[in-house]
Amino acid sequence: MNSSVRSVRWLASVCDDPAVCLSEWRLSERGVVLLPAGRLWDALAVPEALGHSLLNAVARCGRSTTGPVLRDSRRRELLLLMTPGSPVTRPGRAARYLTTGTWLAVPDPGRRVTGLSWLVPPDGRGTLFSPHEVYAALEPRAGR
């Protein structure tokens, strides 16, 4: 099974009925479905420039793998998928923490979709960012 298929199945597993989710992706003209945060992952939404700076800082910490990163070009922000749970700290005015009760428009990692793209697609194994690492890297940048 290739990584794109694994990624789609992993993402769909967050739904009450993954088969329906997979079908919606196949039948959707846009290739996007709404997925609930707070089950397998939470997300941190940050402005693009801050997001790229944050990704560089996390990479400098020596982490060989990162969690998925979704780019929303319309909102000009990056969404980092993190281990679910309460945020370690308040993300600051430049960031939004998305968890239970939040639904995200998520593209199929194997399709090109206008406005949404995966900078780092899910690996299909559930690798996510650690909130501790993300917030440690975000803290000095939060005022930007």
Q: What is the pLDDT of residue 144?
A: 46
Tens of pLDDT, residues 67-104: 999 999 999 999 999 999 876 666 667 788 899 999 99
Q: What is the pLDDT of residue 88?
A: 64
Q: What is the pLDDT of residue 61?
A: 75
pLDDT over threshold 80, residue 52: yes
Q: What is the pLDDT of residue 141?
A: 60
**What's the whole-number average pLDDT of the chain?**
86
Q: Dig out the tokens for 33 from the structure.
A: 């479905």
pTM of the model: 0.89
The structural domains of the chain, with segments of one domain joined by +, span: 3-141
Who contacts 141 (Cβ-Cβ below 8 Å, separation ≥6)?
A: 50, 53, 54, 57, 94
H/E stretch holding 131 reads helix 131-138
User: Based on the number of CB atoms within 10 Å of its own CB, is 139 exposed (0-12), middle (13-18) or buried (19 or more)?
Assistant: middle
Q: What is the pLDDT of residue 36?
A: 95
Q: What is the pLDDT of residue 63?
A: 67
Q: What is the pLDDT of residue 143?
A: 53
Tens of pLDDT, residues 6-39: 899 999 999 999 999 899 888 887 889 999 999 9
Q: Among the listed ranges 3-7, 31-35, 105-109, which one has the minimum average pLDDT value?
A: 3-7
Our CA angle for 7, 103, 17, nearest 5°, is 55
